Structure 1
Amino acid sequence: MSNKLTKVENPVLIVEGKQADNERLKAESDFLRGTILEDLQDRMTGGFTADNFQLIRTHGMYQQDDRDIRAERQKQKLEPLHNVMLRARLPGGIISTDQWLAIDKFADEYTSYGSIRLTTRQTFQFHGVLKPNIKLMHQTLNSVGLDSIATAGDVNRNVLCTSNPVESELHQEAYEWAIKLSEHLLPKTRAYAEIWLDEERVETTEGEEVEPILGSNYLPRKFKTTVVIPPNNDIDVHANDLNFVAISENGKLIGFNVLVGGGLAMTHGDNSTYPRCADDFGFIPKEKALDVAAAVVTTQRDWGNRVNRKNAKTKYTLDRVGADAFRAEVEERAGVKFEDSRPYEFTHRGDSFGWVAGIDGKEHLTLFIENGRILDLDGVPTGNKALKTGMLEIAKIHKGDFRLTANQNLIVAGVAPEDKATIEKIAREHGLISDKVSNQRMSSMACVAFPTCPLAMAEAERYLPGLVDDVEAILEKNNLKDESIILRVTGCPNGCGRAMLAEIGLVGKGPGKYNMYLGSDLAGSRVPKLYKENVDEAMILSEIDALTARWSAERNDNEAFGDFVIRAGIVEQVIVSFRDFHHA
């Protein structure tokens, strides 16, 4: 799939028409304050009302309810059991053990599910926090140096960074750039501190520019940024608006190749929406990274579609105005000329599980956390089910830090050799390490979906473990026991589980029904194609069985499943334009 920059004849830089209501909402929000404080004091409802339902997203929260009991509560003439999900801001995914102890305690005492959820955005989420505990939640985070500013809404969200534990010096510098990018692109309004931390408001002076990068109406749509260290594309660069691919010489970071315009979300039945891989704009020295980031964001701010939110992401702006015009605008705003991209290659995705030695003499243990859900199953911390208790015990003694990965896993990083045996013993005793976990299970991922996500059309997190059981049996039957397929399930087409960069991607269409996509590659640079539409779980297994039988019998040496289905003509590879995704 080519990422060659495109030209558009007579590009439309600004989309004219009646703006989406979210634009009114942001303009009238008093820089994201709204009337959230008043809503917090309203005990007649467990939820947030009117515009505040949307505004709390820019403070890192989504209002949800338990959909498993929604119908029963309606029968009882009760409103849905409103609560919020909070997503923390954790650029690069690094968290200290003291911070972990604090979030573990809060999850135990103040969330409905008692769990810590690791996400594909390389951070953690609390689920099921009731209104009386929301302010305490933010103050708890603040007390250990954390927050949830701009982890949702029309802003730049949590900045990802490769979790690479081996090249420690290069990773440290890349991680520091992830922090700088996060801070540079944050909203500058003090709304978060005033509402949740009781900071006194200081009025702005006349003519003072509150949001020099994001603007008074913020961005047209959500925006995602990453820093990645080849050869491991463990953060899926092509799923994001802005990506900095680290280029090094002699182990030292010298600059970045900049990729712009990736995104996976689409809408069922709307062919104007589609997944898209990012375009490579070229190389910049590292000193220009913040200027280029601001230029990309402000160009999208000014040119993005504020009329139709379904076409408001950066990927649609690039296709409307042409990637070459967008790049030229970025160059002008940043005062830089992109050089030719420096050579790099992504050879794999995902995480390397088990112990890995770093160049600093420290050891790093990557733990597989199925679906990212850290919980003592059944609420009983016994046997091999006590994942949450196990992490708590490790946090009490670990002298390094934890690194959350963009694949919902966790690295116990910076372990001194003399502590290695003790930490492994705790991990094994609590089920955080199991020799029975297959390659297939470690290559599979799902979004949250039911019962909490209001957008879910089908199961994902709760469906995946059993699905993997069945796929493992199919692979063994077809003499592929030690092989794996990048398998991802999402409850809707909004892209949270990155199914549209999977070798097999299942996208929820309705209860028990999914669209089945095939054909991404191991590097994560190819969008899969629709293979079967609206299929049930039995048909999914039947198709996987038939396809893996062919893969086993017809594959070339070490040929990955995604490459095989394209070479065999099961799905087509070539997408001339991502806008033709639904037809190619």
Structure 2
Amino acid sequence: MSDTGKLSPVETIKDNSNFLAGDLTPEMTDGNDFFGKSSEVLLKFHGTYQQDDRDERGGVTEDGKKKKSFIFMVRTRIPGGKLTSQQLLEELDLCDQLGNTTLRITTRQALQLHGILKSNLKETIKRINDCQLSTLAACGDVNRNVMCCPAPYAKNIYRETQALADQIALHFAPRTKAYHETWLTDTSTGEKIAAGGAAGQADDGFDVEPIYGKHYMPRKFKMAIGFDFDNCVDLYANDLGLMAITDGDKIVGYNVLVGGGFGVTPSAKKTFPAVAKKLCFATPENVVAVVEAVFKVQRDFGNREDRKVARLKYVVANWGIEKFKAKVDEYYGSVLPEPHPTDVHGFNDHMGWDEQGDGNWFYGLNVENGRIKDTAEMQLKTAIREILTTYNPGVRLTSHQSILFTDIKPADRAGLEAILKKYGVKLTEEVSAVRRWSMACVAWPTCGLSITESERALPGMIDQLEVELAKLGLSSEKFTVRMTGCPNGCARPYNSDIGLVGRARGQYSMFLGGRLLGDRLNYLYKDYVPAEEVVSTLVPVFTYFKQSRQNGETLGDFCHRVGQADLAAFAEKFTAAAAT
């Protein structure tokens, strides 16, 4: 807690909430289509955001304010992105029956329903729990969805990391009874109406939170588990990353990375994006205890006065990694060893066909920006439904918003592809490299933080980029393009090869020089780039890259090497020459 007592308003709401219960239950039936301000904060801990459809606003209220069209986003927490066909089918049913007919895979291997009305909120969360999933702690000042490499290879190192993701998710789950009492109890009788995926997290006798305490975390806390040879979960972008160090099919331990995070407020110079720093080495036997020590240091020393600087990255930056490690050692109870010298050196998005090693196959299907929907041109949602009901595969969600169908028999491979083709869905092998490695946040019209478009804008830009890259002979180049509608960085734009961040309505900050490995920040190349000029601004960059790259150099590494000034100078000459 704060030494000065000057807590942020959110801290006061948590303090008065009776462990996240607040007034959620009475407000559920108060006749309004929205919740009050305190409840709006608490809803996030329960896995839902109150939003308003900015495309549907109309008229004005009596006090002259624009009328809002209130809707809710409901996020399902899915550790490691692992779920069953039946669970995904239920989410698809929910999006059709209670949502806006679309389902979205997030950049953290979770699922989001959009367009849920307040009157349907309780039924939505109940049904998610009925299929043994949960929304608890999908949002809010808690440990968020634990990411993990989703590859279903029949090897111990993959089974062990996925089991660790489940263990950490359960260990750091809130114990409050408010979740069950609010969403899974019949308010007229008090009778519990669902056990759900949160069973054991709210009914195990805790009247207080043994790890969180009364005030939970100062801000959200994000964890991921990956490998040095495959950083598919963007370890360096998390508050805490666990990089598994392997010897053959054995995990010998984990490099613990701390202090990653991408939220930025441009008007507040004290805020900044950060990639994580190496902290220590943890054995498989003590890794959860080490994670808990880091977690508790952030709980006790994270800023609770100013939410703009409340993430772990600011504690690490203000203290320095040496002081931070000393405090973690203190909380852990002994001095932890230095990190292993290895670092990330590979990235696999697990798309296309691959053998699992047990006689079966999995197929990685690229889902552009994670949006599962049917259109006149492509019935993706219908295709996925048919695959799930025909083959009953396992399902894994990736950190690039795509989906893996697992446990496919060799004889069924052609049939799965035939279903996709029948509904106009491009096979991953038919998707361009630039589209495959792109992703965008939701942004307009539902996210209240977004300044401009993202998910609805990026596909059109990719269409144009495909043409320009083909002209330059760069169609097969592998680089990341990530777009967000605001500087909060939900699609992780600040460590990508090309980052596009909403700056004003229809304008973006353009960042260059990150890379696929995710262990380096990019830099601001140009600010306030109009949407219609994004591609033309990139053409000189690609041209310079084609002319002057070193052997084997990636786009991000090239931009990092030459720097902003050199790139800008070349672009100026290129544009002038093109105009003559």
The two structures have a TM-score, normalised by structure 2, of 0.91
C-alpha displacement of 1:572: 9.4
The whole-number CA distance in structure 2 between the counterparts of 1:78 and 1:503 is 39
Equivalent position to 1:151, from 103, 123, 138? 138
Correspondence 1:108-127 to 2 at 5 A: 108-111=96-99, 113-127=100-114
With 314-323 and 149-158 compared, the bigger mean Cα shift is at 314-323
Equivalent position to 1:314, from 308, 312, 322? 312
Judged with a 3 Å threshold, the aligned counterparts in structure 2 of structure 1 residues 110 and 505 are, in CA distance, closer, same or farther, namely: same
C-alpha displacement of 1:522: 2.5
C-alpha displacement of 1:72: 4.9
Quick check: 1:349–1:524 contact (8 Å CA) kept in 2? no
Correspondence 1:420-499 to 2 at 5 A: 420-434=413-427, 435-499=429-493
> What corresponds to 1:347 in structure 2?
345
For 1:93, give the aligned amino acid: G
> What corresponds to 2:396 in structure 1?
403
Say whether residues 1:66 and 2:59 are aligned partners.
no
For 2:433, give the aligned amino acid: N
> What corresponds to 1:549 in structure 2?
543
The whole-number CA distance in structure 2 between the counterparts of 1:543 and 1:555 is 19
Correspondence 1:20-419 to 2 at 5 A: 20-43=8-31, 45-72=32-59, 79-111=67-99, 113-166=100-153, 168-198=155-185, 210-349=208-347, 351-377=349-375, 385-419=378-412
Judged with a 3 Å threshold, the aligned counterparts in structure 2 of structure 1 residues 72 and 429 are, in CA distance, closer, same or farther, namely: farther
Q: Secondary structure at the match of 1:145?
A: coil
For 1:400, give the aligned amino acid: P
Quick check: 1:93–1:404 contact (8 Å CA) kept in 2? yes
Equivalent position to 1:534, from 522, 528, 537? 528
The whole-number CA distance in structure 2 between the counterparts of 1:36 and 1:22 is 16
For 2:171, give the aligned amino acid: H
Deviations 1:170-229 (A, max 9, x none): 211100100100110111111101100018599x9xx97611211111111110011112
Quick check: 1:89–1:148 contact (8 Å CA) kept in 2? yes
Q: Secondary structure at the match of 1:508?
A: strand
C-alpha displacement of 1:17: 5.7
Deviations 1:429-469 (A, max 9, x none): 22343354200100111000001101110100000000001
Deviations 1:462-516 (A, max 9, x none): 0000000111111112221222431111000111011111111011011111111
The whole-number CA distance in structure 2 between the counterparts of 1:572 and 1:193 is 58
The whole-number CA distance in structure 2 between the counterparts of 1:507 and 1:401 is 35
Q: Secondary structure at the match of 1:411?
A: strand
> What corresponds to 1:7 in structure 2?
none
For 1:20, give the aligned amino acid: S
C-alpha displacement of 1:244: 1.0
Aligned-pair identity (%): 38
Quick check: 2:72–2:117 contact (8 Å CA) kept in 1? yes
The whole-number CA distance in structure 2 between the counterparts of 1:439 and 1:153 is 35
Q: Secondary structure at the match of 2:285?
A: helix
C-alpha displacement of 1:99: 0.7
Deviations 1:76-135 (A, max 9, x none): 998411111011010000010111121111111111x20110000101100010011111
With 403-412 and 482-491 compared, the bigger mean Cα shift is at 482-491
The whole-number CA distance in structure 1 between the counterparts of 2:175 and 2:191 is 13
The whole-number CA distance in structure 2 between the counterparts of 1:69 and 1:377 is 21
Judged with a 3 Å threshold, the aligned counterparts in structure 2 of structure 1 residues 154 and 425 are, in CA distance, closer, same or farther, namely: same
Q: Secondary structure at the match of 1:47?
A: coil
Q: Secondary structure at the match of 1:33?
A: coil
> What corresponds to 1:8 in structure 2?
none
Quick check: 1:15–1:306 contact (8 Å CA) kept in 2? no
For 2:271, give the aligned amino acid: T
With 340-349 and 72-81 compared, the bigger mean Cα shift is at 72-81
The whole-number CA distance in structure 1 between the counterparts of 2:500 and 2:534 is 9
C-alpha displacement of 1:571: 5.8
The whole-number CA distance in structure 1 between the counterparts of 2:156 and 2:283 is 18
The whole-number CA distance in structure 2 between the counterparts of 1:81 and 1:424 is 40
Q: Tell me, which stretches of 5 or more residues in structure 2 are unaligned?
A: 193-201, 568-580
Judged with a 3 Å threshold, the aligned counterparts in structure 2 of structure 1 residues 201 and 25 are, in CA distance, closer, same or farther, namely: farther
- How many residue pairs end up in the alignment? 551
RMSD: 2.2
Quick check: 2:245–2:255 contact (8 Å CA) kept in 1? yes
For 2:387, give the aligned amino acid: I
The two structures have a TM-score, normalised by structure 1, of 0.90
Quick check: 1:32–1:58 contact (8 Å CA) kept in 2? yes
Quick check: 2:59–2:67 contact (8 Å CA) kept in 1? no
For 2:490, give the aligned amino acid: C
Quick check: 1:519–1:571 contact (8 Å CA) kept in 2? no
Judged with a 3 Å threshold, the aligned counterparts in structure 2 of structure 1 residues 65 and 19 are, in CA distance, closer, same or farther, namely: same
Quick check: 2:227–2:344 contact (8 Å CA) kept in 1? no
For 2:548, give the aligned amino acid: E
Judged with a 3 Å threshold, the aligned counterparts in structure 2 of structure 1 residues 222 and 518 are, in CA distance, closer, same or farther, namely: same
For 1:126, give the aligned amino acid: L
Judged with a 3 Å threshold, the aligned counterparts in structure 2 of structure 1 residues 522 and 50 are, in CA distance, closer, same or farther, namely: closer
Judged with a 3 Å threshold, the aligned counterparts in structure 2 of structure 1 residues 152 and 571 are, in CA distance, closer, same or farther, namely: farther
Judged with a 3 Å threshold, the aligned counterparts in structure 2 of structure 1 residues 322 and 252 are, in CA distance, closer, same or farther, namely: same
Deviations 1:149-188 (A, max 9, x none): 0111111100000122336432111001001001101111
* Structure showing greater relative contact order (alpha-carbon pairs closer than 8 Å, 6 or more residues apart): 1
C-alpha displacement of 1:547: 0.7
> What corresponds to 2:198 in structure 1?
none
Q: Secondary structure at the match of 1:570?
A: helix
Deviations 1:229-274 (A, max 9, x none): 2311111111111111112223022321111111011111211000
Quick check: 1:529–1:572 contact (8 Å CA) kept in 2? no
The whole-number CA distance in structure 2 between the counterparts of 1:217 and 1:340 is 32
For 1:431, give the aligned amino acid: G
Q: Tell me, which stretches of 5 or more residues in structure 1 are unaligned?
A: 1-12, 379-383, 574-584
Q: Secondary structure at the match of 2:18?
A: coil
Q: Secondary structure at the match of 1:377?
A: coil
